[in-house]
Amino acid sequence: MVKRSLFLLMFAIAAISTVRAQDYTKNELYGTYSFLSTDVDVLEHEGFHGYGIGYQYNVSKGFGLVAEWTSNHGTVGPIQIPGRIILSVDARVNALLFGPRFSYRTRPVTLYAHYLVGSANSKVGYDNAPGIKNTEFAQAVGGGVDFNVTKSFAIRAGQFDYLAIHSDLPLNNGGSSWFRNFRYQAGAVFKF
């Protein structure tokens, strides 16, 4: 009788630990609004609006692998550069990034931090000219918070990233070859 009770108690503890250890979903798909504050000197830290989509595969409760794509674009002007006034500048930045994400999960919220690497495609055109295109290495360091509405749906209240893009574009007035941008995202997360 004691052995049977002890066995049932151990079985119950093991079952509860297994259920608790898997108290997260393996897959997360999210869509976001994206705002990019750009570091192109001639644009004087203009903000560009856009959108993004991402996928996260959770290896464990606290560790996942992320693939994310964002597109930000906007038009500014007129701006003055040495010897010329440009009436309209059209800029677009598309970033495709991959990497690890570390999460702290509770029932009401999920906090996370990540380091993502990949590439960014930048295009700058002005006064209806064809423009300059460049695809280079990019990296993002950041994190955010999701508010869990149900087990399968969350609101991404904010994701904040320092997005550094290496560039050969002649837009930093002879400065650094890195554009140091800041990106904010918010949206919906579907968990399955």
Output the pLDDT for position 74. 86
Side-chain-side CA neighbours of residue 172 (13 Å)? 15
**CA 123 – CA 140 distance, rounded (Å):** 19
Q: DSSP labels for 70-119?
A: EEEEEEE--EEETTEEES-EEEEEEEEEEEEEEEEE-SSEEEEEEEEEEE
Task: Say if residues 182 and 37 touch (Cβ distance below 8 Å).
Answer: yes
CB atoms within 10 A of CB 139: 20
Total count of domains within the chain? 1
In a domain? residue 149: yes
Mean pLDDT, the chain, whole residue set: 85
Q: Check residues 95 and 13 and name the one with the higher pLDDT.
A: 95
pLDDT digits over 109-164, tens only?
A: 999 999 999 999 988 787 767 778 889 999 999 999 999 999 999 999 999 999 99
Q: Is 44 left (phi over 0), alpha (psi -120 to 50) or beta?
A: left
Q: Whose CA is closest to 91, among 181, 158, 159, 184?
A: 181
* Domain-embedded: residue 99: yes
The whole-number pLDDT of residue 55 equals 98
Do residues 149 and 129 touch, judged by C-beta distance below 8 A?
no
Cβ-contact 47, 33 below 8 angstroms: no
**Stronger pLDDT, 94 or 11, i.e. the higher one:** 94
Q: Give the residue among 164, 157, 161, 160 at the shortest CA–CA distance from 179.
A: 164
pLDDT of residue 65: 98
For residue range 164-191, list pLDDT tens digits in order: 998 776 555 455 678 889 999 999 999 9
Q: Strand pairing partners for 134?
A: 122
CATH code for position 176 = 2.40.160.20
* Residue 40 belongs to a domain: yes
Instruction: Indicate if the pLDDT at residue 14 is higher than 70.
Output: no
Which stretch of DSSP H or E encloses residue 14? helix 2-21
Domain that holds residue 90: 27-191
4 pLDDT above the threshold of 70? no
Evaluate whether residue 113 is within a structural domain: yes
Question: 87: pLDDT confidence band, cut at 50, 70 and 90?
Answer: confident
The answer to the question of residue 180 being in a domain is yes
Q: How far is CA 10 from CA 19, 50, 122, in A?
A: 14, 53, 59
Residue 21 lies in a domain: no
pTM: 0.81
Using alpha carbons, select from 72, 101, 77, 76 the residue that is nearest to residue 165.
72
